[in-house]
Amino acid sequence: MAGNTLTGITRGIDTTQVERHTVNNLVYKYELNGVSLRRINRTHNLNETTNNKRITLDTYPIKIDMSDVNVGVDRSGSGLKKLFFNETIEGGGSRGKATYNVPFEMIIPQINTMEPTGTNIAPSVRTTSGTSASGSEPSFVDKGFEEVSLRQENFFSEPRIVASAVNENFYLG
């Protein structure tokens, strides 16, 4: 900004709608609590966080990539002020979304069957390991096939997950 003039502003970044603004129109920075939403609204790898905050069922820490020049200036090694959240804040509202894995430790297969004479059914399930909210079990390990009983509770010895589409594609191929 130079005097009463804004400089260095570009319209239509990331396929946003380019709009004209007249004198006295209010415009707002595209940010949350001091950090550009272009750095926040993307896919984050929760394994890349560097703090000791734990992932819970309702919260998780993310690491903001400060070196990505596609969303602004590389702030990782420069003399620029480091970005940080000024305070704890909720964002996103009803339009916010996150993908997640669905954890489970028991299933009840509800499958209708018919056994012709001379045949039998040997039901099995193939699962993927998961990490409990307070545990350290590794996630995304193929647990192979296990026999199960139909229409009955089948408990697993450790947590399992139905992986989100992002995690399924990245970790399970």
pLDDT surpassing 70 at residue 87: no
What per-residue confidence (pLDDT) applies to 2?
64
**pLDDT tens digits for 27-36?**
777 777 777 8
pLDDT surpassing 80 at residue 126: yes
Domain count, the chain: 2
What per-residue confidence (pLDDT) applies to 18?
80
- pLDDT, the chain, mean: 81
Give yes or no: residues 74 and 154 share one domain.
Answer: no
Domain closes at, from 67, 98, 129: 98
pLDDT surpassing 60 at residue 1: no
pLDDT surpassing 70 at residue 82: no
Nearest to 56 by CA among 127, 106, 129, 131: 131
Cβ pair 172, 109 in contact under 8 A: no
What distances in angstroms separate CA 106 from CA 53, 123, 158, 160, 172, one per listed residue?
28, 15, 10, 9, 21
Domain interval for residue 59: 1-98
Give yes or no: residues 17 and 91 share one domain.
Answer: yes
Residues contacting 172, CB < 8 A, separation 6+ = 128, 140, 142, 163
Token duo for residue 29? 């920075």
83: exposed, middle or buried (C-beta count within 10 Å: 0-12, 13-18, 19+)?
middle
What per-residue confidence (pLDDT) applies to 141?
93
Give yes or no: residues 77 and 120 share one domain.
Answer: no
Give yes or no: residues 60 and 17 share one domain.
Answer: yes
Residue, of 40 and 148, whose pLDDT is higher: 148
| pLDDT above 70 coverage of the chain, percent | 79
| pLDDT above 90 coverage of the chain, percent | 30
Q: For residue 147, what pLDDT band results from cuts at 50, 70 and 90?
A: very high
Please compute the mean of the pLDDT values over residues 126-148 and round it to a whole number: 90
Residue, of 157 and 52, whose pLDDT is higher: 157
**pLDDT tens digits for 39-53?**
888 887 777 776 666
What per-residue confidence (pLDDT) applies to 106?
97
Domain closes at, from 73, 98, 123: 98
Give yes or no: residues 58 and 111 share one domain.
Answer: no
